[in-house]
Amino acid sequence: MVATTEQGVHVKDLQHAKRAATLKTRSLAGTNASELFGCLPADAYYQIPIADGQRYVVRAMISAPCDTRGWTCDNWTTRSDPAGLFNVFVKGSTGYPHSPIGALVGAISLYDAGGQMDQTESRRIFVQSFPVGRHRDDTAPFGGFLYLMFNDTWTFSDNHGSVHVTVTLF
C-alpha cells in the first residue's frame, strides 16, 4: 500500500453533528484501486463520487478507533453494528423496508447534496436505497454519488457512536 492522504470526499454534518468525520484514501499497490476509510458517525453520511459501471466494495465494522460500542439511534438504549438491529424495521426510516434500523444503508444518486442534507433531500437520494450492512460488493448502475448513512428516522439528536467504513473503488 502507498501513503495515506486526505480525500476530497464530502462528509456531511446532519443537523450539527458533534463529531466531524473524515475519510482518508490510499492506493492499493499493483492495482488501479483506491480505498477510502474512516469513522462514520451515526449522525452523518458519506458522499463519494462514483463512475458509471465502477465496481465498489464497502466493508463496515465496529472498531476501537471509532467507537467500541458501535452506534445507536436512541441514546444507547439499544446499539448495533453495521448490520443493524435484527428484524427491527421502522416505517419512515431511510432504508425502509429493505434494511433494519441501525444498519448501514447506501444509495447511488445523480443528486449532489452539497453542504448539508435535509429530510427532503434524503428522501430524494435514498428513494432506491439498498442494504450495505457489514459488506457489499456491487457495480454502480450509473455515475453520480455513492451515499452511505446510518438507517434511522429523521431524528438524529439521539444518535451516537460510529463504525469504521472502508470503501474500495476499482
The alpha carbon of residue 133 and the mean position of all alpha carbons in its chain are separated, in whole angstroms, by: 10
pLDDT confidence tier of residue 8, bands split at 50, 70 and 90: very low
Mean pLDDT value across the chain: 86
Any idea what the CATH number is for the domain that residue 64 is in?
A: 2.60.120.430
Tally of structural domains, the chain: 1
Give pLDDT, residue 114. 73
d(CA 134, CA 123): 23
- Half-sphere exposure for 20 (CA within 13 Å, toward CB): 2
In tens, the pLDDT along 23-66 reads 888 888 888 899 999 999 998 889 999 999 999 999 999 999 99
* pTM, entire model: 0.87
Q: What CA–CA distances, in Å, run from 55 to 20, 85, 100, 147?
A: 28, 28, 25, 15
d(CA 167, CA 82): 14
> Residue 14's domain spans which residues?
5-169
